[in-house]
Amino acid sequence: MRRPVILFDLDGTLIDSGPIIIASMRHASVTVLGREPDEEKVRAAIGGPGLAAQMRELDPARVDDLVAAYRAHNMPLHATLEAFPGIPELLLELRARGHRLGIVTAKRVDTVELAFERLPVLRETTEVVVGHNDTARHKPDPDPVLEALARMGVAPQQAVYVGDSPFDIRAGRAAGTLAVAVGWGGIHPDARLLAEEPDALVHAPQELLELV
């Protein structure tokens, strides 16, 4: 599985953002709709086509209000973000070994900047960032992964896409990269990840380092 380019999802893969995403979804639903969301459905949609699509599932008539309430609650919480244990060391070691690294995320690029400010190692080790506003179609469509590869000037056969959601696995496979699932995100259970038939499922950064 040795490939020179490693693309990562961000939420639930590099940064432990699941709790603040769920808290902000709850805040938006309670504030705008006056009701608790179905947390299982909220979790299942994280990492997919983006925030507006998730809010459409809550109430298609109140998408803009829900998105605004979510962002107002969520953006300040980025000041509390942490990388998963071992992730900074993993990124630095991959770069030291000569790998080229990129991030392909459902987040908007300006929100990615908040994570970079909190965790400078992400900026230092990342060559390319593709966010929600960079493509018309979103994961599980392969376009975001293909956009990152195009910017780096490499073929899918040279790359691995690493993510914590079924949407990541589908996008990587559809793009023609190897697709590696990570089980430490705390959002999607292993069984759901394995149902997408990733090329590998790892549970610690050291496992990923040994794999790629």
Catalytic center residues: 9
> In the structure encoding, which two tokens stand for residue 59, read together?
């109430």
DSSP letters, the chain, are: ---SEEEE--BTTTB--HHHHHHHHHHHIIIIISS---HHHHHHHTTSS-HHHHHHHH-TTSHHHHHHHHHHHHHHHGGG--BPTTHHHHHHHHHHTT-EEEEE-SS-HHHHHHHHHH-HHHHHH-SEEE-GGG-SS-TTSSHHHHHHHHHHT--GGGEEEEESSHHHHHHHHHHTSEEEEES-SSSS-HHHHHTT--SEEESSHHHHHHH-
